[in-house]
Chain A
Amino acid sequence: MTTELLKTEGLSKRFGALAAVDGVNLTLPSGRLTAVIGPNGAGKTTLINLITGSLLPDAGQVYFKGEAITRLASHQRTRKGLSRSFQLMNIFSRLTVLQNVLLPVLSRHGSTLKPLARVDDQAKAVAEAGQILKEVGLWEVQLHPAGALSHGDQRLLELGIAIAPAPELCFLDEPSAGLTPVERAAVLGLIRKLAVERRTTFVIVEHDMDVVFSLSDWIVVMNRGRLLAEGPPSLIRENLEVREVYLGEELSA
């Protein structure tokens, strides 16, 4: 039984004369792994920023599970079940790997404001954070400072932090950027696994077409701030407009 998790209506954002996102109407049902693709400057990251609250739109609305969240602060959207990872590495570099994941968990439990309790005593939260680390494969390095991890491990940590608030809808901005093929396979397998086990609906922004076509149930194509096309991979592959936009480079399959 799928629900309509996210809906945007006429979402727009301009930077000066440039319409980074121009009247986007998007619907995302639960349980469907969606990839958002498009050439550079198509507005993909801006769209994510608008939906997750990093930016406020000039026009349009965003609905999450039927509720208007258009002007809510990011942390409030996270509380409602929306989360994201970042294109540029964004982890708590001085904290340990465990603490990185522990924070969102504590936040979800509402335990962050206890000034005299000990972090180590929050047994339930610590256990949950440990579980997440096991799932992403970082259990061994949990006491290392996050900044000391390899690039690939940091990407895994990003993923771990993104799913730690137990979101229903999770946006991943280029989750495999800068990874070796082996690391990439690991991350993607992980996303698939998490989608099933945690019943999280993932939306990934990606440039790598192999990733996109092998992983996603649905593809959304953006160009110049507008939604060009959307559909299952097979249909998108055949779509002439989409091929044209990409000048046949990456769709040579």
Chain B
Amino acid sequence: MHHSSFYKVAAAAFPIFMLAFGRGIGGRWAMTSVMAVYMAILCLTLWIIPLFPAEPKLGPIWNHIDHYQGFAFPLFLIVPALAMDWTLNRYPYLNDWVMAALMSFIFVVLLLAIQWPLGSFLRESPYARNWIFGSHYDYFGNDPHWEYRFKFPPWVLQSTTDFGIGIVYALGFGYVSARIGLAWGKWMRKIQR
């Protein structure tokens, strides 16, 4: 989450579906509710699965575990979703091409604002290594003493310039993704049942 490729992939992948459903389903807080369900499902699996005992049945075992390992703490997509829902409803007659640019901007900026510090917290902070955030869970085949287990390895760190260029790309990907999402949502409202 400290590398621009994360934002590029997120901007390409998420707005298309968020806006398709956001516009297709209608309602004031469509995207927010979808993202709330996503967060709830991921948090519940993260919190429930580790309650069950388990042992690796395949070798070699590097990480010695005695219960199921949780997946990962979900992305805070609910924050950009809130702002996008509000904007979509506040300016219903805005041209879709302009709206797509606005959506991409909101998505990338808010995601960056929340995931950058959250990423640091999850990766580095000892306070994230508990059942709520689950940063201590790991695959049985990974070396638990890996020096970058709780650190950002140097090869994922970028210079500010490279990161900035990456974010510009992310905005571009987000624009295309959002525009397709808006068109898809519009079509879904027109479909006859």
Query: Is the A/B pair a real complex?
Result: no
Q: Which residues of B contact A (CB under 8 A)?
A: none
Q: Which residues of A contact B (CB under 8 A)?
A: none
